Every structure is written in structure tokens, then in C-alpha cells.
Amino acid sequence: MTTIATLEQPEAATTLSQLDQLKKLTKVVADTGDFATLKQYTPQDATTNPSLLFKAAQMAEYKSVVEKAITDARKTGATGRKLLEEVMDCLLIAFGVEILKIVPGRVSTETDANRSFDTEALVAKAHKFIELYRHQGIGRERILIKIASTWEGIRAAEILQREGIHCNMTLLFSLAQAVACAEAGAKLISPFVGRILDWYKKTTGKDYAPAEDPGVVSVKEIYAYYKNFGHATEVMGASFRNKGEILELAGCDLLTISPQLLGELKADTSPVERKLSTAMAKETKIERLVLDEKKFRWLLNENPMATEKTAEGIRLFNADAQKLEQFIAAQL
């Protein structure tokens, strides 16, 4: 479990940046595959996804990482399409290994989006990732396997967690998904704050203050549910659109933040106030949600935002994975 500092209120005047103040309340994670950014902001953990790795792989400074992945993949003796798949896996692990040389904690490595509805395939890919990391001298305690929060993905996480392979459940937009992940024993969930806000702004035409931001409200509800019912699963707010969303979740177990917003937090010395804690959460009255597969699918179906954003997220990650494949194919 994440240890949260006991500091409840910052001093009125401080020379600490908001980023440094936030680190006293929450485990800060960098949402990037860029090594220079990681060194600049010194986060505890790092997360990656196909979109971030596609950008990083095209940068000249990471040419050696791409070349190493190709070399490692060729050693398997694979050819054609199989070789391309091997390079993709080796590239994910190569970036992960380099990231772990910089951050003291964990790195999240994403499973293929096109496996999001195939429990067995997700488990197999996770096993492969763990084995590839092992060959590079990295133990499973430093790895989080990222899996989309579909029913099939949650069942894969349940299997993997029993084996001691920790999972980061991504593309999560609803309490039903969060509860199912916690009951499956997932190590961590990543509710997507900004994408929830995007949907509501587009649907209602309204702007939202940070405290009323639907994404922020969703994470606070999930956090309160977990703390009230004793779930050990960590809550990591993700996909932020502005600094205000981040500050409204100060005190959350973890927050994964883009380089731009890390920069804004580092440049500001305004006080940061704790907004979430276990004690605060337990003041919230919340009913236990009883779930099975039918109830899960029904609740997701009845939540148009969660249904649309989960499907859209899977499509977008798959599209970026295909772009990365095309880039790698050109190198081969």
C-alpha cells in the first residue's frame, strides 16, 4: 500500500513548489516515456502507453533503444509478422528497463489493446512481459502490467494477481469498473479524469470548475468506496487536462501526470491543500455495490460515458500501436 505523508495542511507561505508539496501528500508518477523528463521531475513511478512510446521511438535520442529491441527480437529466430511482434514486445521492455534505471519504483507496461476482450491472451502476454523483464534482471515487484478495465481484462488481472504479478487497470471510467477491479485484487487502478471531463464538456457544452469536474468527482467517489470497504487496491488518478484537477485530488494514493502539467506544478509555489485522506473518505456515506458479470455489464451499459470512453480508448491505443508497428516495420 502507498504510504501517505501525515502533513494535512501546508504552511501559508512556502518556497516549495506545488510539485514538491504534492509529493508530500501523494505518490507522483510521470506519464511519459521520455527519459529526460523523468530525470527532471524525479517521480516515484512511471507509466507508458502505445501513444507515448510511439512518440518516443521516433526521437533521435532513443534510436539506440529501438535498435536494441530489434537486435533482441532477431535472437529469437522469428521472421515476418512474428518478428515484428517480437520487436514490439522487446521495445516495450527496452523502454521499461531504461525507465527503471531512473525511477526508484515501478513502471507500467501496457498489454495489446486488441487483446482487451481475451482473458487467456492477456494472461499469456503478461507472462511474456514478466519473463522478458526477468532476462533483463528486473523482478516482477517493479512491474505493473497495464490492462484495459473490460470484464475479460479484470478476469485476467484476477489470475495474474494470484500469481504475484501486479496489474494496473487502465481505461477506467466508472465505479462499477473500479469495484470489479478491487474485488479481483488488482494492485492499482487508473481512472481517467480528463477523458471523463472531455465527454461531459462535449455532451453538455458546459465548463466545470475543478471541484465540480466530473472526472475529479468520479475519482473521489472511487477513493471513498475503497477506503470505506477496506479495499487494498491503489487509486491513481490519470489523464489530467489541467492543474486544477490534480490539486483537487491531492492526497490520492497516486497521481500520474504529464510533463506539461509537472512543469506547471514545479513553477508554482502556491500552497497545496490535502483534499483526500482515508479519514475524510470514511466520512462519506456510500453503499456497497454487489457485482457479478451480468450486473457489471448492465451498469456499464447504463453509463454512456463509461461505455463510450472505454471503447474509444481501446480503439485509440490500438491505432497508436499499429502506427508504432509501421514505424518498426520500416526499421526492419
Q: Is residue 2 part of a domain?
A: no
Q: Is residue 215 part of a domain?
A: yes
Report the alpha-carbon distance of residue 28 to residue 255 in Å, rounded: 5
Q: Is residue 253 part of a domain?
A: yes
Alpha helix (H) residue ranges in the chain = 18-23, 35-41, 50-57, 63-74, 80-100, 119-135, 151-162, 175-183, 193-204, 214-228, 243-248, 259-266, 278-281, 293-301, 304-331
Q: Is residue 298 part of a domain?
A: yes
Q: Are the CB atoms for 177 and 196 separated by under 8 Å?
A: no
Q: For the chain, how many structural domains are there in total?
A: 1
Is pLDDT larger for residue 104 or for residue 330?
104
The active-site residue, picked from 146, 187, 227, 309, is 146
Residue 25 — very low, low, confident or very high, per pLDDT cuts 50/70/90? Answer: very high
Q: Is residue 88 part of a domain?
A: yes
Is residue 309 annotated as part of the catalytic site, yes or no? no
Cβ neighbours of 55 (radius 10 Å):
16
Whether the predicted pLDDT of 17 surpasses 70: yes
**pLDDT at position 197, please?**
98
**pLDDT at position 89, please?**
93
Whether the predicted pLDDT of 53 surpasses 70: yes
**pLDDT at position 2, please?**
38
Q: Is residue 13 part of a domain?
A: no
Q: Is residue 100 part of a domain?
A: yes
Q: Are the CB atoms for 109 and 42 separated by under 8 Å?
A: no
Q: Is residue 3 part of a domain?
A: no
pLDDT tens, 210-266? 999 999 999 999 999 999 999 999 999 999 999 999 999 999 999 999 999 999 999
Domain hosting 57: range is 18-331
Whether the predicted pLDDT of 311 surpasses 60: yes
**pLDDT at position 3, please?**
38
Residue type, 187: K
CATH of the domain at 244: 3.20.20.70
Q: Are the CB atoms for 204 and 194 separated by under 8 Å?
A: no
pTM, full prediction = 0.91
Please report the DSSP string for 231-256 in residue order.
---EEEEB--SSHHHHHHTTTSSEEE
